[in-house]
Structure 1
Amino acid sequence: METNYLTVDEAAEYMNTTARFVRRLIAERRVPFHKIGRHVRLKVVDLQAFIDAGRVEAFDPMAVRRHIRRAS
């Protein structure tokens, strides 16, 4: 089983963000990472899990109306 690790710059390219954003995620411990000496590496599966956790599902307009009616 091969585990793919990315550098900060590669992770930023994978996530289509800046390296500064990835470094902030690391500093805030919002994404798992590995330190190898002074180098930081991130697993692709961990980055994908972070991306998937931020997914927002579409809503059903009728369900919103029913919820509003119950609240009033």
Structure 2
Amino acid sequence: MKVHLTVDEAAEYMNTTIRFVRRLIAERRIPFHKIGRHVRLKVQDVDAFIDAGRVEAFDATAVHRYVRRAS
């Protein structure tokens, strides 16, 4: 497997648009490497970004507590 991805490859890997990946880079929300005028992203950094956005599912008791708090 590749170690570094282009912006196009990163967008395909994350199943998102190229524009979104470029915005992540512009906002410095994901680490990247500049090689001349080319931008490369490490697969590990892309995976870390995806994992950082993970939201755990509720269990049944947590759902009841959450619903009670909302009302």
TM-score tier (shorter): 0.7 to 0.9
Counterparts in 2 of 1:62 and 1:36: CA distance versus 1, 3 Å: same
State TM-score, norm by structure 2: 0.85
Larger Cα-atom Rg: 1
Matches within 5 A, 1:23-38: 23-38=22-37
Identity over aligned residues, as a percent?
A: 80
Query: What 5-or-longer segments of structure 2 have no aligned partner?
Result: none
Report runs of 4+ in structure 1 exceeding 3 Å deviation. Answer: 66-70
**Is residue 2:7 matched to residue 1:8?**
yes
Query: What 5-or-longer segments of structure 1 have no aligned partner?
Result: none
For this pair of structures, how many residues does the alignment match?
70
State TM-score, norm by structure 1: 0.84
